[in-house]
Amino acid sequence: MRPTHLVLAALLAAVLLSCGGSDRQNNEIEGPAHSAEAVAARGRQLAQASRALATKAGVERTLPAKQILFGDLHVHTTYSPDAFTLALPIMGGEGAHTLADACDFARYCSEIDFFSHNDHAEALIPEHWAATKEAVRACNARAGDADDQDLMVFAGWEWTQVGLTPETHWGHKNVIFLGQAEDELPARAINSRPYAAGIGLFAQTRQAAKARFIDPRNWGQYKDLEWLVDRLEEAPECPRDLNSRELPLDCHENAPSPDVLFRKLDEWGFDSLVIPHGTAWGSYTPPLTTWDKSLTGKYFDEEKNRIVEIMSGHGNSEEYRRWRNFYQEGEELVCPAPTPEFLPCCARAGQIARERCGDVSAAECEARVEEAEQIAMRASVSPAFVFPDTQPEDWLDCDQCRDCFKPSFNYRPTMSVQYAMALANEAETGADGRPLRFRFGFIGSTDDHTSRPATGYKQYARKKMTFSPGMMTEMISAREQLPEPADPSRAQALDTNKRMMDAERVTSFTYPGGIVAVHSEARTREAVWGALKQREVYGTSGPKILLWFDLLNGPGGSAPMGSEVSMRQMPRFEVRAAGAFVQKPGCPDSSVNALSPERLEALCAGECDNPSDLRRPIEAIEIVRIRPRTQADEEPGELIDDPWRRFECAPDPAGCSVQFVDPDFPGSGRDVLYYARAIQEPTPAINGNLMRTEFDAEGNAVSVEPCFGDYRTDPEDDCLAPARERAWSSPIFVNQPAMRQARSGP
């Protein structure tokens, strides 16, 4: 270089190095509340749909006056370090996504009725928790009449626990609170970090900040991320032996397991809900993890654990399957053989080893196959990295649920919601004196990381409306961090203490996400909260499908979804469902008039919830019946009838209504729960065809075409394929009056 160039380069380096990071401040909410007339119109639409379904079914009883409200109880801003990382330019991100953005998006892009903030507690520094509480109050202050709010916001956080083994893994849970005043909320977020573990899950975030050397034009954004990590590390861990109310304000309050979290929430004494989510998502859940260890009085709180997130932007966690990623027999790990239903990653590792045997002896080749299977099983959540030189396509669709609706990645059947609902702990009793059981209501939400609550109203803008990050350059990848194998023909053992996410394949399993619906007595925070606590809730895969599910002949009369009753006679049920409105392109005038063109485009990306007057037909209504265990050795697959009943619906935009009975219940001697699925006609959906797997005549996977989040797939490609969007009701729990429960056969 010439001397002048050297001087300029040195000056540029000095300027960049002197540019320290800073906090990202929240911006201002722009949009006003919806008019009272606009809010009232929503209620009239709902009442009209309810009356039409009642007339269609010939129902003569008085219908409840409750209204269905839609929301999202799982929303992140870039106060979460992973969201911050995904928003960086090198990831194709858009920059900061603020608390105020979520308020404007919910009100004028997705047009929902309520949502909650849920940034990761492990990284929620004091000033950001304070800003979250203030933003909740600010958004609620714009909601109009306190008895008829257009939008309700709840404060909370995500308790993001990840264990390296099945015994230490409890999973992620969202914590939300009814109150919004300063004296109705904790002084600190309570995180899941192990004691004396530093900043734990987000310790590797500092590596992302180093990308500024590759992308110096955006130096400041990377330094801002580094500022956040520095701020996290400088705060000490709170003392462990003090009541939460007595702890210093500026410390990290750790709760490494659910029992500690519940104790600390009890010390605060505020009305709260703790909502498990992403339970079957195998990107962070170790294989062999099950719900069983959580079903004890120590680790399960019946008052706080009222609902579970069945669907999110990371996929569906509903369905139980009998196959396993692998089995453990004593100290031995056993890899299952592939079937047309499931290809285990351990088996695929063995296939790759066999393909690389070359001219070695047959005995040596078999030994290498067995070695590869064992190494893949011991790789925990990262089996696709045991051959470092492979590409994502080489692993086909291993460890994926092929016949599930929008499944979570690397599916874990024993962490599915159906599996949880089939369990019972005979050794402990619940508040009702019966064997302890999970009695969850079902919701959907997004797990959005761009301050966009309820993104599922339209299937568009995959890179903005889903969790589909990816490097915009080949210079950085997870595989490049692996050491060079001594022998490429053989599998390489991984350091399982350094968890690696299979981020290349996972972006074929990201969706705009679900939403939660409540049957609420009023448009108030208290009424929405009451419906959540009573489990009078349901989830959808994104569209605003209408769903009612009632027990018609309960002991006290009709009982809605979420109810629990004891009865001897044959239960009789009714399901009513109406599809979501067909969407018109663009945004309605109410959104165009409320937000500036720049903000409308930045938040909504040119499309808003813009319903026409026509609803999509409901294709079918399915009923799932689950008979919880009465003996510890009962196979859940024998207790879960999915579907137990299926009713085909006429293609009527007014919806579908069915009634049914269970003649088996009176003589079964068992408690039973029932829930309904309303399934819409097929429509194009992001990642509707997952990895776009091709199969041979025998049902074996032969190739895949992943929908990458990085440079390998055009960002404008939304990877659309037909899918049947759906809604899941909360269960109705119908118990036998007698405490004694007889064991029935398969």
The structural domains of the chain, with segments of one domain joined by +, span: 36-321+413-465+510-681+724-735, 327-400+469-508+686-723
Question: Phi/psi of residue 41, each to 5°?
Answer: -65, -35
Look up residue 383 and give its amino acid: P
Comparing CA positions, the residue from 314, 380, 391, 315 lying closest to residue 345 is 380
Could you tell me which residues come within 8 angstroms of residue 638 by beta carbon, excluding any fewer than 6 positions away? 746
- How far does Cα 316 stand from its chain's mean position? 8
Residue 82: both structure tokens together: 């992973």
Q: Which helix (H) or strand (E) holds 38?
A: helix 36-57
Sheet holding 172-177, edge to edge: 156-160, 172-177, 272-277
Q: Do 314 and 447 meet the contact criterion of CB atoms below 8 Å apart?
A: yes
Mean pLDDT value of segment 509-520: 96
Closest CA to 229 of 125, 146, 128, 332: 125
| Mean pLDDT score, 229-251 | 94
Count CA atoms within 13 Å of residue 362 on its CB side. 0
Residue 569 in contact with residue 549, Cβ under 8 Å?
no
What Rg do the C-alpha atoms of the chain give, in angstroms? 26
In the numeric block, which tokens belong to residue 498?
Answer: 């350094």
Range of weakest confidence among 19-33, 303-317, 389-403: 19-33
Mean per-residue pLDDT for 540-559? 97
Arithmetic mean of pLDDT, 362-380: 97
Q: Is 11 helix (H, G, I), strand (E, B) or coil?
A: helix
Query: CA-CA-CA-CA torsion for 132, 134, 136, 137, nearest 10 degrees?
Result: 170
d(CA 201, CA 54): 51
What is the per-residue pLDDT across 277-312, written as a single tens digit (0 to 9) for each? 999 999 999 999 999 999 999 999 999 999 999 999
DSSP-derived 3-state class of residue 501 = coil
Determine the pLDDT at residue 476.
60
Of 537, 600, 443, 527, nearest to 154 by C-alpha is 527
Task: Give residue for tokens 């599915």.
Answer: 416
Distance CA 714, CA 461 (A): 11
State the Cα–Cα distance between residues 16 and 155, nearest whole angstrom. Answer: 37
Q: Which residues of 240-258 are buried (b: 16+ CB within 10 A; e: fewer)?
A: eeeebeebeeeebbbbbeb
Alpha carbon 737 to its chain centroid, in Å, reads 36
Report the Cα 594 to chain-centroid distance in Å. 30
Structure tokens at 260: 């500690």
pLDDT reported for residue 470: 80
- Quick: pLDDT tens for 29-62: 999 999 989 888 888 888 888 888 877 666 555 6
The DSSP call for residue 113 is: S
Calculated CA dihedral for residues 553, 558, 562, 567, nearest 10 degrees: -30
DSSP H or E stretch at residue 310: strand 307-312
Q: What is the spatial distance between Cα 150 and Cα 335, in angstroms, rounded to a whole number?
A: 53
Q: How many residues does the chain have?
A: 746
Average pLDDT over residues 157-162: 97
State how far Cα 417 lies from the chain centre: 12
Q: Is 376 helix (H, G, I), strand (E, B) or coil?
A: helix
Q: Is the pLDDT of residue 659 over 90?
A: yes
pLDDT tens for 78-127 read 999 999 999 999 888 999 999 999 999 999 999 999 999 999 999 999 99
Rounded to whole angstroms, the Cα distance separating 676 from 658 reads: 11
Mean pLDDT confidence for 615-628:
98
Q: What CA–CA distances, in Å, run from 518 to 409, 496, 523, 548, 617?
A: 28, 41, 11, 10, 22
Q: What confidence category does residue 199 fall into, taking pLDDT thresholds of 50, 70 and 90?
A: confident
Look at residue 10 and tell me whether its pLDDT is greater than 50. no
Query: Is the predicted pLDDT of residue 743 greater than 90, yes or no?
Result: no
More confident residue, 24 or 70: 70
Mean pLDDT of 119-143: 96
Under 8 Å between Cβ of 514 and 541: yes
pTM of the model: 0.95
CATH superfamily of 36-321+413-465+510-681+724-735: Metal-dependent hydrolases (3.20.20.140)
DSSP secondary structure string for all residues of 486-538: S-TTS-----TTS----HHHHGGG--S--EEEEEESSBSHHHHHHHHHTT-EE
- Tell me how far apart the terminal alpha carbons of the chain are, to the nearest angstrom: 80
Give the pLDDT of residue 50.
83
Is pLDDT of 5 > 50? no
DSSP string, 221-237: HHHHHHHHHHHHHHSPB
Contact (Cβ atoms closer than 8 angstroms) between residue 333 and residue 370: no
3-state helix, strand, coil split of the chain in percent (to 5) is 30, 20, 50
Average pLDDT over residues 654-665: 96
- 599 — phi, psi (to 5°)? -70, -40
SS3 for 630-693 is CCCCCCHHHHEEEEEEEEECCCCCCCEEEEEECCCHHHHCCCEEEEEEEEECCEEEECCCCCCC
pLDDT value, residue 105: 98
* 19: pLDDT strictly greater than 80: no
Asked if pLDDT for residue 746 goes beyond 50, the answer is no
| pLDDT at position 446 over 70 | yes
Is 90 exceeded by the pLDDT of residue 417? yes
The answer, yes or no, to whether residue 9 has pLDDT greater than 60, is no
Q: How many CB atoms lie within 10 A of CB 59?
A: 17
pLDDT in tens, 476-497: 665 666 778 889 999 999 887 7
Residue 131 has pLDDT above 80, yes or no: yes
Say whether pLDDT at 11 is over 80.
no
Contact 409, 315 (CB under 8 A): yes
Percent of the chain with pLDDT over 90: 82
DSSP, collapsed to helix, strand or coil, labels residue 726 as strand
* Rounded-to-integer distance, Cα 143 and Cα 107, Å: 10
Pairwise CA distance, residues 696 & 361, whole Å = 29
Say whether pLDDT at 386 is over 70.
yes
Question: How far apart are the C-alpha atoms of 507 and 262, rounded to whole Å?
Answer: 34
